[in-house]
Amino acid sequence: MQFFVDTAEVAEIAELAEAGLVDGVTTNPSLILKSGRNILEVTREICALVDGPVSAEVTAVKLDEMVAEGRRLAEIAPNIAIKLPLTWDGLKACRILTGEGRMVNVTLCFSAAQALLAARAGATFISPFIGRLDDINLDGLDLIADIRRIYDNYGFQTKILAASIRSVNHVTEVAKIGADVATVPPGVLRALVRHPLTDRGLEQFLADWARTGQRIL
Question: Letter for the amino acid at 159?
Answer: K
82 beta partners:
56, 104
Question: Letter for the amino acid at 98?
Answer: T
Alpha-carbon gap, residue 1 to 214, rounded angstroms: 41
Alpha-carbon gap, residue 149 to 160, rounded angstroms: 11
Nearest-CA neighbor of 122 among 152, 148, 84? Answer: 84
Catalytic residue check, 83 = yes
Nearest-CA neighbor of 47 among 69, 27, 70? Answer: 27
- 8 Å CB contact between 181 and 1: yes
Q: Which residues contact 168 (CB under 8 A, 6 or more apart)?
A: 188, 191, 192
Alpha-carbon gap, residue 58 to 61, rounded angstroms: 8
Alpha-carbon gap, residue 146 to 112, rounded angstroms: 6
Give me the catalytic one of 83, 92, 159, 176. Answer: 83
Q: Which residues are the active-site residues? A: 83
